[in-house]
Amino acid sequence: MTIRVWDYLREYEKEKEEIHAAIEKVLSSGRLILGDSVKNFEEAFAAYCGVNFGVGVNSGTDALFLGLKALGIGAGDEVITVANTAVPTVSAIVAAGARPVFVDIDPETYLMDTSLIEKAITENTKCILPVHLYGQCVDMKGVNDIARAHGLRVIEDCAQCHGASFNGIKAGSMSDLAAFSFYPTKVLGGFGDGGMILTNDENLYSKMRRLRFYGMEKTYYSEESGYNSRLDELHAEILLRKLSHLDEYIARRREIAHKYDQSLAMTSLSLPETMPGNEHVYHLYVCRHPRRDGIMSRLQSKDIFVNINYPWPIHSMTGYRYLGYRTGDLPHTEKAAGEIFNLPMYPSFSDEEQGIVIAALQEILDDID
């Protein structure tokens, strides 16, 4: 039996009838771009997150990029974020014309260490971009207190945290803007790229609707320079159907995480830590070991495939060398990148498969410790 770190095929089989009905509805509607399916999904997802407005866009990357543009962030501005994230977080900042500034992470949760933010603020800082990573939220009280004190804007990167909450407040509702991805692997994933920007600010909402559609309020006339970044009707209708299952997906992810926690607690693995106040949704189950690469190799020899999110901190990549960071500048980020790996985690992952993964890990760890 080959065990993959992620797979959608069983979930698709279970939901095939709904998905095909969604496709048929759109294809029979006569409207393929920015129709009722996008509008209905925007409204439903915004309501689920406790926010007034949603703007569906082409991807999570575009959600970040257009959010930054809507806030007027561009050339000469700095945006504080982390290097322990997916490249799109940083590429969106750069695409907007701004400069990413990195702070280190908490070594237990791998989330932004909010105690380091104020030291990173300069006269050019315009925004803080916390990344809600692996399924739990950054300390948004800490982020927002600092932002208010320094007159900064805040954008939440929620690509990995659909349905998560901090102190009872849903991810995506604790900032000026929030960016979500619906990439297939996400907690709420589609069958291709897709994203959404959430806000409670009606002016920002109107601006982002223009920016995603060439700056237009009406066809063929641009009110301002804009872009082409539209969530299409097919993805929106499928995601609308899947949204009704989101809490079910999250419950199953928590079941899987609980079993990992119980079964691996007595091993030498460092298991995920949930920060106080967080309701974790386990987009990924990230554990840690100083002999990670050997463990992964032995798992692969047993046809068990795990993954690393993320093996290279962004400040160490050739493409971002121009930012001027050096090895040692973000010690917790750098150390974690050499030791973390994530175990299979998705709702249709079976108890039998999880048992095989756990048994293999226990055997390998007993052998190497």
State whether 162 and 232 are in the same domain.
yes
Among 227, 243, 259, the domain-final residue is 243
Which residues neighbour 229 within 8 Å (Cβ) at sequence distance 6 or greater? Answer: 57, 58, 59, 62, 66, 211, 212
Question: Coil, strand, or helix at residue 213?
Answer: strand
State whether 301 and 198 are in the same domain.
no
State whether 272 and 287 are in the same domain.
yes
pLDDT digits 0-9 by tens, 182-212: 999 999 999 999 999 999 999 999 999 999 9
State whether 40 and 134 are in the same domain.
yes
State whether 139 and 105 are in the same domain.
yes
State whether 173 and 55 are in the same domain.
yes
How many CB atoms are located within 10 Å of the residue 119 CB?
Answer: 8
Q: Of 94, 42, 35, 98, whose CA–CA distance to 72 is shortest? A: 98
**Cβ atoms 331, 104 nearer than 8 A:** yes
At CA 125, angle to CA 206 and CA 179, rounded to 5? 40
pLDDT band of 41, cuts 50, 70, 90: very high
The pTM of the full predicted model, rounded to 2 decimals, is 0.97
d(CA 138, CA 132): 6
State whether 255 and 236 are in the same domain.
no
Q: H-helix or E-strand containing 21?
A: helix 9-27
pLDDT above 90 for 1: no
pLDDT at residue number 272: 97
pLDDT above 90 for 264: yes
pLDDT at residue number 78: 98
State whether 86 and 183 are in the same domain.
yes
In a domain, 343, yes or no: yes
In a domain, 56, yes or no: yes
Among 243, 273, 306, the domain-final residue is 243
pLDDT digits 0-9 by tens, 320-349: 999 999 999 999 999 999 999 999 999 999
Among 243, 269, 286, the domain-final residue is 243
Q: Calculate mean pLDDT across residues 151-155.
A: 98
Question: How many domains are contained in the chain?
Answer: 2
**Percent residues over pLDDT 90 in the chain:** 98
Strands 278-279 and 165-166: antiparallel
pLDDT above 90 for 142: yes
CATH of the domain at 68: 3.40.640.10
pLDDT above 90 for 49: yes
**Percent residues over pLDDT 70 in the chain:** 100
d(CA 135, CA 119): 27
Domain of 228 in residue numbering reads as 10-243
In a domain, 5, yes or no: no
State whether 230 and 351 are in the same domain.
no
